[in-house]
């Protein structure tokens, strides 16, 4: 088990300024900077830092900001390839970055290259490529009515260049389903006026003020609808051995959504035939292991 960072400062050490070599590859330090079992944050540009984790001699690199509320992930815990943030406990596949929870964006992970004793990370060019994930996050927020998730998703979409029109379209689609399935004949009018007023007010402002009005309009339109969240697959690479270990761990901790996302990924990866045996073992193992402990 890797207990997070001994070194958690996001400022690079003196003389440890990342060097760039094209194609987004950046030198972020040396192997000696991240001993086995430890992690380290390296600032690579203004407002952006990479978290390095040494797990049994293998270096992993991820964005250091937790996608949930930005806590430094070097303060998290890594166990069985799962990185768990120390603040609210969101957990991520350390390799592919998939988040195992509701209402949390996936984590960006980066390729690592070891050149001699130097560590190089391909941190990408910060081009926005997560439109679909952030629309999904907004939808999750609309279904749960969680203001923070709605605001965060809206802010990410707007800063990524997604038009207000596209955001409002998703909110309206959700509102239609919410009113149709959860409100009586006259119950939707109030919500619609709140939404329209929020959008109208938002048009008179810019920047954060506009975001606030738009988010509140989304909040007004949120609520249950007769549908459940779509379960999406974990980003690759995800091997069956990982899923097997995670499902056993999440089963012991009774974390059902995490199990569901793992199993959905396995089915999409063509590993459906393994699932029944795994679930059977998860179901019966606690009984026999618990019994064995009693006998002992």
- Which residue, 60 or 178, is less far from ligand FES as judged by CB? 60
**Residues 27-66 interacting with ligand FES (rule: CB under 6 A):** 66
Cis, bond preceding 66 (omega within 30 deg of 0): no
87 belongs to the binding site for ligand FES (CB under 6 A): yes
For residues 247 and 100, the answer to whether their CB atoms sit within 8 Å is no
For residues 99 and 260, the answer to whether their CB atoms sit within 8 Å is no
Stretch that binds ligand FES, among 83-91, 135-143, 169-177, 180-188 (CB under 6 A): 83-91
Tokens of 261: 């996302």
85 belongs to the binding site for ligand FES (CB under 6 A): yes
Stretch that binds ligand FES, among 52-60, 68-76, 159-167, 177-185 (CB under 6 A): 68-76
- Which residue, 90 or 258, is less far from ligand FES as judged by CB? 90
Stretch that binds ligand FES, among 81-89, 155-163, 189-197, 271-279 (CB under 6 A): 81-89
69 belongs to the binding site for ligand FES (CB under 6 A): yes
31: DSSP letter: G
Cα 194 to Cα 68: distance, rounded to the nearest angstrom: 27
Q: Which helix (H) or strand (E) holds 2?
A: strand 2-3
- Which residue, 53 or 120, is less far from ligand FES as judged by CB? 53
Beta-bridge partner residues of 113:
120
Cα 222 to Cα 228: distance, rounded to the nearest angstrom: 14
For residues 174 and 191, the answer to whether their CB atoms sit within 8 Å is no
> What's the distance, Cα to Cα, between the start and end of the chain in Å?
27
90 belongs to the binding site for ligand FES (CB under 6 A): yes
How many residues line the site for ligand FES (CB under 6 A)?
Answer: 9
258 belongs to the binding site for ligand FES (CB under 6 A): no
99 belongs to the binding site for ligand FES (CB under 6 A): no
Per CB under 6 A, residues contacting ligand FES are 66, 68-69, 71, 85, 87-90
């Amino acid at each position: 088990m890797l207990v997070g960072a001994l070194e958690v400062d996001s400022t690079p050490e003196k003389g440890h300024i990342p060097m760039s070599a094209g194609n987004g590859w950046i030198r972020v330090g040396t192997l000696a900077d991240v001993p086995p079992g430890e992690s380290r944050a390296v600032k690579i540009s203004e407002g952006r830092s990479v978290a390095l984790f040494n797990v049994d001699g293998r270096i992993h690199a991820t964005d250091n900001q937790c996608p949930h509320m930005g806590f430094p992930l070097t303060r998290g815990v890594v166990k069985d390839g799962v990185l768990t943030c120390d603040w609210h406990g969101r957990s991520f596949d350390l390799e592919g970055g998939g988040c195992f929870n509701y209402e949390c964006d996936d984590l960006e992970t980066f390729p690592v290259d070891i050149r001699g004793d130097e560590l190089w990370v391909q941190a990408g060019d910060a081009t926005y490529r997560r439109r679909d994930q952030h629309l999904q996050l907004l939808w999750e927020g609309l279904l749960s009515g969680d203001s923070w998730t709605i605001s965060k998703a809206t802010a990410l979409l707007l800063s990524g260049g997604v038009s207000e029109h596209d955001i409002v379209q998703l909110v309206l689609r959700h509102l239609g389903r919410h009113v149709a399935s959860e409100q009586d004949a006259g119950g939707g009018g109030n919500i619609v006026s709140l939404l329209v007023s929020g959008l109208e007010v938002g048009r008179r402002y810019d920047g954060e003020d506009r975001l606030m009005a738009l988010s509140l309009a989304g909040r007004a339109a949120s609520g249950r609808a007769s549908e459940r969240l779509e379960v999406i697959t974990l980003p690759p690479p995800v091997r069956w051995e990982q899923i097997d270990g995670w499902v056993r761990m999440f089963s012991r901790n009774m974390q059902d959504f995490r199990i569901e996302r793992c199993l959905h990924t396995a089915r999409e990866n063509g590993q459906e035939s393994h699932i029944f045996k795994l679930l059977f073992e998860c179901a019966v193992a606690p009984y026999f292991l618990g019994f064995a402990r009693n006998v002992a």
